[in-house]
Every structure is written in C-alpha cells, then in structure tokens.
Structure 1
Amino acid sequence: MERLLPSDPSVIGGYRLAGRLGAGGMGVVYLARSPHGTWCALKAIRSEYADDPAFRARFRRETQLATGLTAHWTVPVIAADADARSPWLATAYVPGPSLAEAVARHGPWPAAHLLRLGAALADALDGIHACGLIHRDVKPANILLAVDGPRLIDFGIARAVGVTVLTTDGSVIGSPGYLSPEQARGRTVGPETDVFSLGCVLAHTATGRPVFGAGPAAGVLYRTVHEQPDLDGVPDALADTVRRCLSKDPRRRPTVAQLRQEFGEFDEDGWLPRGLPALVAARAARVLELPVPQHTVVDGPPANGTSDAVTATGTPGAVAPTSRRRVLTAGGAVLGVVAAGAGGWWRWGRPDRSAAHGTGTLPRRVIGLLGDRSDPSFTAHERGARLAVSEHQNDPRRPFDLVLRTADDRGTAAGATAAAVALAAGPGVDLVIGAGTNATVPAAVEACTRARITLLVTRADTNELDGVNLTSALLLRPTRTAGPPAILRYLNRVVKPGRSAVVHDLSDADDTLQTVRIITVHKKLDGAATVEEVAADEDFTAAAARITARRDDAVVFAGVHPERAASCARALRDAGYRGTRVADEHVVGTSFLDVAEGWLVGTGYTDATADPRTRKFAAAHRARYHAAPAPWAAEAYDAVRFAVHGLTAAGDDARATVRAELLRHPWQGITRKVSYDPDSEFFQAVEDSGAFLYQVTYHAARFVSRADDIGSSAT
C-alpha cells in the first residue's frame, strides 16, 4: 500500500481514504473507512471514462447489478455512485493473501484442496451469472483466501451478459493467460468465458505455472487462441474437467451448474493446503495495524478527477497537514479489488537501530553472486557488484551493512544447482544474483525456487526463462521470446522497411523460432516479411541470392552461432546486398566480427564508457580497477542496487519478503527501468530499457544507442 498523494481526496462519498492500494487503466483503488467504521476498497474511475455519458450509463447498470450480488464466495459491492464527478464503487475488504501469492510462496495444491477450491469458485460464478453479470477477469490474483473459503473479487471490468467489449472491435479486456480465446479475439463473450478462465486458474494452482505459458502478452494470446494448454501435472481427478473447461469452442465447455455437480459441495474444514492457514491468519491479524486515515492537501484538480475532497472537519477543499510518518510496504496481501497481489501492509516509522541492536551495530544483509569464475563476464559482474557494495557501505545513512558472497557454477547445470543450494544454505544469504548463461541459469532458478530464495537473473535470455516470474526469480532482461528490442526498434523507427527477410538458421531452430514468430505472427516488425529457412547442413549462398534479387530493405538473422552468422554475413556480402543487416548479441564473436562490417547488433548490455548515462559508473570502475568496465559490469551494479532497494523495504524478514518488495514499485537503474505489471503478472524492463544497439565497425562491435533512445534526435 502507498500513502495518499497530495492531489488525492481525503473523502469520497463519505468514505475516508487511508491509502492507495493501486492504480490501473480504469482508475485508482484506495483503502477506505466507511461511515460506519468498516474497512473497504474503493475504486475511483478516471476522468476520461467519466466524461463519456455512455460509460456512466453502463457503469450505473452494472454496479446496480453487482450491488445485488449475494453469492457466498464473492466480495459484494456495498456502495457506488455513477453520478459523482468521478464515478466510484466500494467493495468489502478481505484481509487475506491472493491465490497467486499463495501458489508462488507455497507451491501447487493437492487434488483434494483443488476440488474444494473449484467447488467454491463454481458456486461464486453461478451467483455472478444469475445476477446477469460475467466476471471477465477470473485469475489467481483476483481470488483472495480467507479462513472460511476463497473470495472472488474485482468486478471492475465485469460486463452485463450480452454486452460486447466497451472499446473498439479487436480490443482485449482481461488478463493474458487467463482470458478465453473469444476474449483474445475481441469478440462478444458470455458465461462460458468465465468457465475457461476458471480452468486456467485450476490448472495454474495444480501445477504452479500458467497453462498457456508466460512471457509477453502477444505470445500468450497467440498460444491461447491457437495452441493446446499445458496440463502436465494436473491431478487425474481434475484433468478431464479442466481440459473441457479449456475447449477453444465455448459451446463445448461445461456449464457452471455441471461444474458444481462435478466438484461437489465445498467443505470448509481443512480446505487450505498445509502452510496456508498460518499465512491467512497472520494477514487477518494485521488488520489491527492499519492506521487511522490521514488528511491530504488538494492543490488544483485531483489526479483522479474527483472534487469532493474534505478534511476531518468536513470542509470541502480545506487544507490539512500531511502526515510525516514514513510508509513502507511489506507482505503481499490483496485488499478488496486491488489486482495481482499488489496490496500490502503499512509499517510506520524507521526502525530504532539502538533498540533492536543494543551494541549499535547495523544488521547485515548478504547477496550471493552465482556464475562461472572462468568466464570473463563473471569477472565483469563481480567488479560491478563490488562497486555497488562499496557505494552502499560508504553511505552513512545505510540501514544495514552489505556483504557480497560469490559461488562458482563451473559452467554446468549441475554446478549451478550445487552452487545455488550452497549459497541458499549459507549463513544469512538473503538474495542471489544469477550471472550465468542460458546453459546454467535455468538449473539455478529451479534450485533457488526450492530453497525459497530470490534470484535476480542478469544475463541469460533463454526461452526456458519465460515463466521465471512465477518462480522465486526475477528476470532483469527480456528473453528471446520478446524478440530483439533494439533491433526491432531501429528497423521500425529508422529504417522503416517496406519488406524484410528473416534468415532462420535451423541449426538452432528451437532457440530462434520465437524471434521468427515475433516478426511474422505478432507483426512487431513493420512492413512485409519473408522467411528464408536455411538447414543446418546448408550454407547461405542461395538465400543471399534470393534476398539480393528481391532488393529487400533489411535482413534479420535469426540464429545464435557466431560461425553461422559469419557464413550468412559473408554470403550477403558476396551477393552484393547493400540493405540493413541485423542480429542479436549471441552472434558476437571473432568469426562474425571479422566479416560483418556495418551489421547492427542488439544486446542486453551497455558499453558503460560510451553510454552517456553510465559514464559516472565507468569512471568509478576505472578508478578502482584501472580498466574500463566490460560488458555486464554496469548491469551487475544495477542488480545489486535493485536488490538493496528491495532489502531496505523488506525489513527484518528480508529473505522471505524481498521478492514481494521488489515487485512493489517500478525501479530505475543506470542501465534499465524495471516494473511489475499486476494484470499480466509479468516483470520486465520498461519500454525497451535495458536493450542496446551496437554496430560492427573495423572488426569490433561499437556502441550506438540505448533502444529507448532510437528514433530520437540523439540517435
């Protein structure tokens, strides 16, 4: 939870606001006290929607329907005002974690508990549909766990049955990974779409992973519409039911009434798996810690469009002093309609170090660095990380001392597993930074997930990491599934090709197929695209001749082997091709650089000496190590600083809560900005930050620009 902004109102509709639970596309969600003193979640709609009379009419109709909702396993709308300057609705407050958090922290659920969960959710949907509503956003983050059973929340995008989407045709409303194929296509939906989403939820709860994979929304939506769900690991007692719920054809899905019969009656006794009752009880007990609502200062129109701000005296627009108490968020409870486990609890004031540590000694936090010590990039990582540690230790205001501990994975998956286990078992290790490769990091992710320790991945980009945000790990760079951001941005904003050729090297087809899909299926490259497939035992001569004869504007090499990329570059050169040629960082090697003059390369690392935003870091690196920083040094520096950001907010129980704190707010480093999207449950670099463009000049790759600067006057 965040403190109220100065521009936020103090009161909306008689509900006194205590803090911000979140903000989304529709509006801002507040924690509020009702006139009767009960806690609730209040959503204020954004002014751009409020200015649309048709929206107000729909909002009025649907909140009236939702107010009449009495289904046992839902969170009712207790008040709403469609005629306020900014329409709002308030729902009951549920002091419990979300199902998303529960699965992330405690793992998949056994079959017996899944059946009880399914029984309650089917009952909830039956009540929702009986009121003439469809939910449209059934997902683990919108299911709260209470002692007596689950609660389905967030009717913010629910629509009256039979009403099409409110925006233009082809738009998508819902959360990728849990919405139905008809939602993904932007078509009219009915109760069947909630059944599909329920199947996704049950499969996720049974396996701990999303049924249509993770990663960028475009890929998830494509798999939802065109590919079969991944049901490996769903218990036999549930597999057939879930499979029928996930039918692409809405007419073939079971009805909610049929699901209620298959799941049976909900049994409250022991409905939560082992470990979760204690978590639920702890969250409920924290209700007593919630603060008395404070007043805000309104200077000009409020950010959310409301004008009915009042102070404790009830005087509209009066100025009241803001609280000086400092707010720190912790935990992961979801309150009322807040999405994706982004809620939390307030901790007031700064810890008293002298009271907690009688000697005056600061507490200690330990960060592990895991990678292959024989790899030069590990040396770069370690140097960047140690600079960040030194910077922290030299800050007199630091809340704790910081220690860096390294571990050697020896460049193998088995070594990564052993080293990760050793780090996690080491005294006081709170977080691990994975500096390994695509061959080793997936094993480290698995080991750290079992050990319940947060892993920050800096370098690896294999497709195997697409679902990493559903483990205990966070990926600080895009995977190949997202496509090469710097390359695509350069082509679209600078080259603007009418026709491009994608040279797909089939010697590593599994690793590069997603890049081809990004360009051809998801159309992230403007203009037409032709795919030239080259088998592993072929050279690139014929493909280069066809590309040159067509006079394609650009060539994208989809491959990862430097020798194969060099062969492609040589063939294009010999064929006389003069258009733009691009590839990604994996092709950078002596064999490629020797023949690829003029090629552009997209990377996940910057050149700290040439990048204007990292030159201060480069100077500090040179002063300490008497050498310019190598690739990945600045990224490791950022990883440590990001870790410190989370550890500072996590407090005493750092290891258990640091991941939740890292997801709490966007964070800006010297190389990238990272953010968590609660709707898609996806953590990623923001707007192509963390991606960089190089050009091969005189047998070396030389820095050109950050991806997010491409197309600007500075490029």
Structure 2
Amino acid sequence: MERLLPADPSVIGGYRLAGRLGAGGMGVVYLARSPHGAWCALKVIRAEYADDPGFRARFRREAELAARLTGRWTVPVLGADAEAREPWLATAYVPGPSLAEAVALHGPWPEAQVRGLGSALAEALDGVHTAGLVHRDVKPANVLLAVDGPRLIDFGIARAVGATALTTDGSVVGSPGYLSPEQARGRTVGPSSDVFSLGCVLARTATGRPPFGTGGAAAVLYRTVHKEPDLDGLPEGLDGIVRRCLAKQPESRPGPRELVDVFGEFAPERWLPEGLPALVAARAARVLDLPVPEPTMLSGPAPADPADAPPSPTRRRLLVAGAALGVSAAGGAGAWWRWGRGTASPSDGSTRRTRQVIALLGSPDDAFHQNQVRGARLAVEQHNKDAGRTVDLVLRTADDRGTAAGAAAAAARLAADPAVSVVIATGGNTTAPATLPPCTEARLTVLITRADTEELNSANTTTGLVLRITRTTGPPAVLRYLNRAVRPARTVIVNDLATATASLSAVRITTTYGKLDSKTVVEDVAADADFTAVARRIAVRPEDAVLFAGVRPDRAAACARALRDAGHRGVRVAGEHVLAAPFLAVGEDWRVGAGYTDAGADPRTRAFAAAFRARHGQPPGPWAAEAYDAVRFAAQGLTALGDDERSTLRAVLLRHPWQGITRRVGFDSVGQFFQVQEDTGEFLYRVTDGTARFVTRSDDIDAKT
C-alpha cells in the first residue's frame, strides 16, 4: 500500500481514504473506511473514461449485478455511484496477498491445496454466472487469499471499463495467458470462457508456470489459440480435469458445478500450503491495525468568498510544486497554477487568446524527427495566422537522444513544466513507449505519430493517444493489396524468429484473425538461419504470394535475395520497418505498407506539399505530413479545452473523430484504441530501382492497383 498523494481527495461518497492499493490507466484503487468503520477497497474510474454515456450505463448495470453476489468466495459490494464525475465502486477489503504473489514467493502448491482452491473458485464462478455476469479476467492477481479461503475480485467492472475485451483492431487489453481462445479471437464469450481461465489459474498454481508460456502478448495468444498447454509437472490427479478446462472448444469444458463435484467440498482447515498462513496473517495485521485516516485536505464550513476557499486537489499539488521552485501563490506568480497559460487580452477589443505550448520530443539526429519538426512548425505558423483563433500555439522541441532512457528523462522534464500543454512523441518503438510513464503521472497528454509497437495498444495510460494503426493489425495496406488486387490462391507468411514478437503480430492477424482471403501457410525461419531452404520450398509453387512478417531490413533483404535466387515469381509484400538501404538494394518490385504518405505524390496532400516547399525550400519527407496533422489535431482539442487544465485534454480529444490530410483520427469510446476504418492512414509503396515509390492510399486499393 502507498500513501495518499497530495492530489487525492480525503473522502469519496462518505468513505474516508487511507492509502492507495494500486493505480492504472483506468483509475485508482484506494484503501478506505466505510461510514460504518469497515475497511474496504474503493475503485475510482477516471473522469475521462466516464464521458461516454454508454460507459456509465454499462458501469451502472455491472455494479447492480455485482451487488447481487452473495457467495462466500466473492467480495460484497458496499456502495457505488455511476453518476459521480469519477464513478466509483466500494467492496469489502480482503487483507491478504494475491495468489500471484503467493505462488511467486512460495512456489507451486500441493495437489490437495489446489483442489481446495479449485472448489472455492468454481463455486464463486457459479455464483457470478447465476447473477448474469461473466468475469472475463480470472487470473492469479484477481484471487486474494484470506485465512478462511480465497476471494475472487474484480468481477463485472473489468467488463464495464473494457479492460478485458479484445478490441476490434485485434489488440488485447486484458491478460494474455489467461484468456480463452474465443476471447483471444475477439469472439463473444460466455461462462465457459471463465472456466478456461480457471484452468489456467489452477495449472499455474500447481506447476508454477503459465500453461501457454511467457513472452510477448502476440506469442502467448497465438499459443493459446493454436498450441496445447504445457502441463508438465501437473499432479496426475489434476491432469484430466485441468485439460478439460483448457479445451479449445467452449462446449467441451465442464461447468462450475461439475468442477465443485470433482474437486470436492472446500475444507477451511489447512487449505493454504505451508508458509502461507503466516504471510496472510501478517498482511491482515498490518492493515487492520491502521488508525482511522486523517483528512488530506482542509475541511470545514464553505467560505463566503471563493477566493478564501481551500485550493482544489490539482491546484494544491501545483502550489506545493510552486513552493518547491520558490514561486509564491500570490503576487508575481499570477496565474502560474493554471498550467502556465498566459492570457492575451488586447485593449482593442480583439479576440482573447490563451497561450498553449506544444512540445515535439525526438532526436535531432533522426531524419524522421527533423521532417516532423518542419511539418509541425508549418502547422503552428498557419494556425497563428488565423485572426479568429482563441489559442496561440508555441512550438518547442526536446531531445530524447534516441534512447529509451533519454526519452523518459526528457518526458519527465516536460511533465514537470506547467507551461507545456501537450507532447508529440516523434520517435519509434524504442523511445515512444518510454515517454508515457512520467507523462501519465503528470496527466500530460502524449500524441504518438510514428511508433507502432504492441506496447502502445494497452489502455493502461491516461495520457497516450496513438495517431496511427499499430503493428497489431499487421500491415493493412499490403493485406488489402493481396485481397483486392492480387487475390492469390495461397499466401506464405515468412515468420522471422529473429524478431519473434514483432513477426507474430502479422502471423496472428493473417491466421488467427483471418485477415487474408487466401489460404495461408506459415514458414518459420530460425533467428540464426538463412532463408535458402524456405525460399526453395516456396518456389515449388512460384505463383504463391509471400508476406515477410519480420521487421529487420537486413533479414528482409536476405529473404528477398533467397526468393529471387530460387525463382519465385509471385507477389512479395512487407511492412514499413524493412524500408532501409539493405532491403531497398535487393527488394525490386516488392510492395510495402507504411504509416506515412509521400506528400508530394499523394493527391490529397498536394496543397500541404506546396506550402511546405514554400516555407522550407524542400519537399516534405516521411512523417512530415503526419506531424502537421498531429499539431492540428492537438490545436482543435486545445481550442475546445478553454480554461480547463491540461489533464483533461485527452478526454476532449477522445470525444469526436477528426479528419486530417493524412488520415481520419478516431478512437473507440471504451478501449480508446485507434479505430480501424476507411481512410486510416495506411499507404502502399513499390520498390523500384532501389527506391520506395508511392502507389496509393490503402482505402484506394482496387483490382487495378
């Protein structure tokens, strides 16, 4: 448990907060005292997630259903408010470790204790399903251990906030390794999905290993759907029933009541393995001995003059920071606490304007960053020429040194600067994810233009918005090219294990999710192997299409060379990461999908290209137009923001889709991932004479392409 932050409230719905039990992208879980003195876990959902009326309706329904649960192995709901600015739910507090922590600290459990655990959790699931709920996130971290038995937590609300659903773009925001195959495929799930997850939990508890291995989410999900579980070391008495729980087909799995019959009635005596009762008792004593929490903010009668009112939690936090910097809350500081928004109020009656700083974070040594700086500068200058504007934009640049550590440090400096309103992260998959933790802590919005790693698919950030399709969906432009223009009888997916996690993203999209209309075959190539043998097998059917699923240009070049030498004549495609000198030298006639346009060749960006040349004396390079759009997207959000604090900008940007010159930007209202739709900013290139030449936009691909 952590101490309350200065920005945390003292009381929510009559519950006095004592500390933080955890925090994530969706909100914070507090330890609190109920009005009657009982300890409880109070989950608060951030306001920006509650802007969608549909969310509140789901939250309300799930809270009402969860309140019906009266089983002994689930925690009772003590109170909830779906209409609060930040909706909250309070449940009884279980002062014990999670099953995940217990297995990590003490290792696998004996068969007798696993049976007791299985019986109790199966009984809990039976009650959950009877109440009309599907848990959808049964995992060791959601099982708490008490002296008298386990408790299943986080039912219902996980579904309400979209934390365990498979998003429509193929990105998983739940718990890979415990999701059922149907959940991993994005299909409708029912009670049998929870049984599969329970089987994973029991296997992990009995063997100490997750049954579908570890690694990246794509790899784990692929094994969940296509491979058999690893149950080596599972006691013989558990093997049969756990395997039935882990059946690929939902109808082949047992129901919770059958599981209770198989495992037997739960016996509270010695249900925990040796060593764990002491841990559970120590945790309980540490929490139950806490004093009644004191207020974290001033309380008392409301002052008559608003100027005498105690500062809001956000303002109080800033005043504390200001004191640390030697800034007074009065006098020269002025409106410093309003995130540095200087206000221009000319006496001639013209429009009142606020000043908003946009920081571009990237490396000066990165040519793509320099392209983005130029595109962003043009957007800022054009915006500031509008006489009717209510916001003046200021562009700043920050150096991330091209490393994750440099990006994290630079982001922390920007997050600590109240004058910065939004950060645009221009770097790739190494640096962009590192900007999120410090900005999430400060509630500073980060717009990501170029990176496409799976790490960015998670909704567990309150600040990041990815302004493009990520690698989770595969390379959409080449998938559309194969489906609409080529229509091969068969496509061979070359799975380069030198970049296994990245490659599996494309493998999963083309196989598990069936995004290719043709028959597909996967050819694995070991990290230390060349492509000669694979190319020879492929060349036996020379008209087959080939999709290179790796991301290293040198490996793509080796694959292209091997296919050429083997006599393959079919269409060959890849994603944008291969576009570098080694591949371009040998990748003649390959089609490549990319997330950036050639603004000079794209008919829809010609006006931008002309303005760019006039301003900078050269044509726009890759990602310049995308950065131009990022600034304009941020500007419309900052304009709508008005005098609100910067922490609410992300919620403003999420509310309405926006059309730029490169793509339509829109986000799912619950999962908050970039929505895959028409005009999503994917572009097709063809390698000719050592150069990648623009062909068309993804949504314009047809049989004539």
Q: TM-score, normalised by structure 2?
A: 0.59
| From 366, 377, 398, the counterpart of 1:407 | 398
Identify the residue that residue 647 of structure 1 maps to in structure 2. Answer: 638
* In structure 2, distance between residues paired with 1:709 and 1:111: 58
Distance change >3 Å, CA 220–CA 707, structure 1 → 2? farther
SS of the equivalent of 2:428 reads: coil
- SS of equivalent residue, structure 2 residue 360: strand
Distance 1:31 1:466 in 2: 23
Aligned length: 515
2:653 to 648, 652, 662: 662
Deviation at 1:74, TM superposition (A): 7.8
Does residue 1:97 correspond to 2:95, yes or no?
no
Distance 1:486 1:212, change over 3 A: farther
For 1:633, the aligned partner's letter is A
Cα distance in 2, alignment partners of residues 559 and 133 from structure 1: 46
Which residue is 2:430 aligned to? 439
How far the C-alpha of 1:413 sits from its partner, in A, is 1.8
Tell me which residue corresponds to 1:708: 699
Displacement of 1:590 in angstroms is 2.5
Residue 625 of structure 2, aligned match among 634, 641, 648? 634
- Are the structure 2 counterparts of residues 570 and 403 from structure 1 closer, same or farther at C-alpha, using a change threshold of 3 Å? same
Return the offset for 1:648. 2.3
1:466-518 superposed Cα distances (whole Å, 9 cap, x missing partner): 32663521112233222111111111111111111222333333332322232
Deviation at 1:453, TM superposition (A): 1.6
User: Does the 8 A contact of 2:466 with 2:673 survive in 1?
Assistant: no
Measured at CA, do residues 685 and 447 of structure 1 come closer, stay the same or move farther in structure 2, by a change above 3 Å? farther
How far has the Cα of 1:30 moved from its partner?
A: 11
Judging changes above 3 Å, is the alpha-carbon distance between structure 1 residues 401 and 75 closer, same or farther for their aligned structure 2 residues?
farther
- Counterpart CA distance in 1 for 2:578 and 2:462 is 29
Q: How far, CA to CA, are the matches of 1:664 and 1:113 in structure 2?
A: 39
Distance in structure 1 (CA, Å) of the matches to 2:68 and 2:691? 66
Mark the runs of 5 or more structure 2 residues left unpaired by the alignment.
1-49, 100-119, 139-153, 162-169, 202-211, 230-241, 248-252, 273-279, 282-286, 303-341
Structural mapping, 1:277-356, within 5 Å? none
Per-residue displacement from partner, 1:325-378 (whole Å, max 9, x unpaired)?
xxxxxxxxxxxxxxxxxxxxxxxxxxxxxx986656521111110111011111
- Conserved? CA contact 1:468–1:474, under 8 Å: no
Q: Does 1:381 align with 2:381?
A: no
- Tell me the residue number matched to 1:533: 524
Any conservation in 2 of the 1:384–1:636 contact (CA below 8 Å)? yes
Residue number in structure 2 paired with 1:392:
383
Structure-to-structure mapping, 1:437-516, within 5 angstroms: 437-467=428-458, 470-516=461-507
Is 1:604 the counterpart of 2:603 in the alignment?
no
Q: 1:189 to 1:467 in 2, by over 3 A?
A: closer
Q: State the partner residue of 1:593.
A: 584
Give, in angstroms, the shift of residue 694 of structure 1: 0.3
Separation in 2, partners of 1:213, 1:641? 41
> Contact 2:668–2:674 (CA<8 Å) still a contact in 1?
yes
CA shift at 1:177, angstroms? 6.0
1:185-224 equivalences in 2 (<5 Å):
189-190=190-191, 193=194
CA distance change for structure 1 residues 73 and 665 in 2, over 3 Å: closer, same or farther? farther
CA distance in 1, matches of 2:246, 2:525: 34
Give the letter aligned to residue 620 of structure 2. P
Summarize the Cα distance change of 1:175–1:561 in structure 2 as closer, same or farther, 3 Å threshold.
closer
Assess, with a 3 A threshold, how the Cα gap between structure 1 residues 175 and 511 changes in structure 2: closer, same or farther.
Answer: closer
Pick the aligned partner of 1:135 from 119, 133, 136: 133
Q: CA deviation at 1:428?
A: 0.6
Distance in 2 (CA, whole Å) between partners of 1:610 and 1:585 is: 18
- For residues 645 and 639 of structure 1, the distance between their equivalents in structure 2, rounded to whole angstroms, comes to 10
Q: Which runs of 5+ in 1 are unaligned?
A: 1-20, 33-39, 44-61, 77-90, 103-108, 116-121, 141-149, 158-171, 201-210, 230-243, 286-354
SS of structure 2 residue aligned to 1:396: coil
The partner residue of 1:621 within 601, 608, 612 is 612
Offset, 1:138: 6.9
User: 1:578, 1:612 → 2: CA distance?
Assistant: 31
The letter for the 2-side match of 1:363 is: T
Q: Is the 8 A contact 1:365 1:403 kept in 2?
A: yes
Name the CA distance, whole Å, in 2 between partners of 1:471 and 1:156.
Answer: 17
For the Cα contact (< 8 Å) 1:501–1:529, is it kept in 2?
Answer: yes
State the secondary structure of the residue aligned to 2:601: coil
In the TM superposition, residue 677 of structure 1 has moved relative to its aligned partner by: 1.7
State which of 663, 685, 690 in structure 2 corresponds to 1:694: 685
Give the conservation status (yes or no) of the 8 Å contact 1:416–1:443.
yes
- In 1, Cα distance between the equivalents of 2:533 and 2:129? 64
* Structure 2 counterpart of 1:436, one-letter code: G
Determine helix, strand or coil for the equivalent of 1:448. Answer: helix
Q: Residues 624 and 225 from structure 1, CA distance in 2 versus in 1: closer, same or farther, beyond 3 angstroms? A: same
- Contact 1:182–1:193 (Cα < 8 Å) also in 2: no
- 1:416 is aligned, of 400, 407, 421, to 407
C-alpha distance in 2 between matches for 1:228 and 1:453? 43
1:546 aligns to 2:537 (yes or no)? yes
Cα offset, 1:152, TM superposition: 6.2
**What is the RMSD of the two structures over their aligned residues, measured on CA atoms?**
5.6
Which stretch shifts more, 541-550 or 673-682?
673-682
Q: In 1, Cα distance between the equivalents of 2:181 and 2:550? A: 34
Residue by residue over 1:78-102, the C-alpha shift from the partner in whole angstroms, topping out at 9 and shown as x without a partner, is xxxxxxxxxxxxx9962242469x9
In the other structure, the counterpart of 1:181 is 180
- Give the TM-score normalised by structure 1: 0.59
- Residue 637 of structure 1 and its aligned partner are, at CA, apart by 0.7
Q: Aligned partners of 1:573, 1:191: CA distance in 2, in Å?
A: 49
Task: For 2:542, give the aligned amino acid.
Answer: R
1-structure distance, mates of 2:522, 2:192:
41
Supply the AA of the counterpart residue of 2:700.
Answer: D
Displacement after TM superposition at 1:583 (Å)? 1.2
Q: State the AA in 2 paired with 1:622.
A: R
Query: Percent same amino acid among aligned pairs?
Result: 48
Change (3 A) 1:653 1:566: same
- Cα distance, 1:554 vs. partner? 0.5
What one-letter code is carried by the residue in structure 1 that aligns with 2:571?
T
Counterpart amino acid of 1:707?
Answer: S
Aligned-pair distance for 1:194? 10
Query: Are positions 1:671 and 2:662 aligned together?
Result: yes
Q: 1:215 to 1:566 in 2, by over 3 A?
A: closer
1:417-461: CA deviations, max 9, x gaps? 222122222341011111112222222223323333221111122
Deviation at 1:581, TM superposition (A): 0.7
The answer to whether the Cα contact below 8 Å between 1:366 and 1:429 also exists between their aligned partners in 2 is: yes
- Is the 1:506–1:535 Cα contact (8 Å) retained in structure 2? yes
The 2-side partners of 1:410 and 1:462 are apart by 19
Given that 1:69 and 1:127 are in contact with CA atoms closer than 8 Å, whether structure 2 keeps it comes out as: no
| Contact 1:366–1:428, Cα closer than 8 Å, also in 2 | yes
Distance 1:510 1:193, change over 3 A: closer
The alpha-carbon distance between structure 1 residues 278 and 632, as it changes in their structure 2 partners (threshold 3 A), is: farther
**Could you tell me which amino acid in structure 2 is paired with residue 422 of structure 1?**
R
Deviation at 1:151, TM superposition (A): 11
Q: 1:695 to 1:154 in 2, by over 3 A?
A: closer
Take 2:356 and 2:635, find their aligned partners in 1: how far apart are those partners? 9
Whether the 8 Å CA contact 1:582–1:599 is kept in 2: the answer is yes
